[in-house]
A = this chain, B = another copy of it.
């Protein structure tokens, strides 16, 4: 790379084009932008039915279907990609709806085992398939750390001492559920565990708290309580990191909570500026927890 290339400080050594397998949402675009700013060429592989054409269309891109590992490897080789990143929302599809190609079928025993397990097992199965094709699976932290929540308070509001104690309790709940491959988020208010996320997702969890409050079934006063999101203990951080965006902040406010805390360095943030603006507007705190406090 010429020394006057417009890359940012601390960029990793040039490693050839990066294959980005893109699920839904805007995060694949944010990651590709960061990768490109670091002087590396992103090649987008949009998953049919999930990826947004407008998001992946800004870079070189291909469409693939879940189960078509062979097609993906052929294309990635042709694009000269040595590494692959998975990013964006893909919910576990019904196994009967997969259209599997031969390459994938050869790895089926492992895939079926993966389906019987929780998400962690599904994910490590996918990683094994990718690595069987000779690609190295990388995580966001390696190739685009700027899309991760940084450590410390973002925005104008700080957590109170009570908020910090609620945060600690929520982290304990998430840690306790780690062995079950579930629960990347919990809501705690004034020491009461109000909600635990399983298959429903964070927005659903927050809507539920808002509804319980409306019905008078959450009795801590408005402006009490925290949402905490953290990767499951032992989670492979190359996949499926928790993420937040402006909507998360709005839902935290609608649920009458004081703020939200997420693990710094392993929570993705979509539209970071808009998130901070929303937090200040809604008068809630947003804090990136040091990874070691977050267990």
A interface vs B, CB < 8 Å? 91-95, 116-118, 169, 172-173, 176-177, 179-183, 187, 190-196, 198-200, 204, 208-209, 212, 216-219
Q: Which B residue sits closest to A197, measured CB to CB?
A: B196
Contact (Cβ within 8 A) A118 B193: yes
CB-based nearest B residue for A118: B192
Known: A176-B179, A177-B177, A180-B169. A198 touches B194 (CB 8 A): yes
Besides A94-B219, A181-B193, 11 new A-B residue pairs in contact (Cβ under 8 A), listed by A number: A91-B217, A91-B219, A172-B179, A173-B182, A176-B179, A177-B193, A177-B196, A180-B193, A181-B192, A194-B199, A196-B196
Residue from A182, A183, A192 having most chain B Cβ neighbours under 10 A: A192
Q: How far is the CA of A176 from the CA of B199 in the complex (A)?
A: 18
B172, A176: Cβ atoms under 8 Å?
no
| A205 → chain B closest CB, angstroms | 9
Number of copies: 2
Given contacts A173-B177, A217-B91, contact A182 B196 (CB under 8 A): yes
Chain B residues within 8 Å of A181, by CB = 192-193
Pick from A181, A187, A198, A218 the residue with the most CB of B within 10 Å: A198
B residues in contact with A208, CB < 8 Å: 200, 204, 208
A198 touches B200 (CB 8 A): no
Determine the chain B residues whose CB is within 8 A of the CB of A218 once the complex forms.
199
| Pairs of residues from A and B, 6 with the lowest C-beta to C-beta distance, nearest first | A182-B193, A94-B219, A196-B196, A194-B199, A176-B176, A195-B198
CA A237 to CA B216, docked complex, whole Å = 26
User: Contacts A176-B177, A196-B177, A196-B183: A116 and B191 contacting too (C-beta < 8 A)?
Assistant: yes
Across-interface contacts of A204 in B (CB, < 8 A): 208
State whether B199 touches A192 (Cβ < 8 A). Answer: yes
Query: Is A180 a contact of B190 with CB atoms below 8 Å?
Result: no
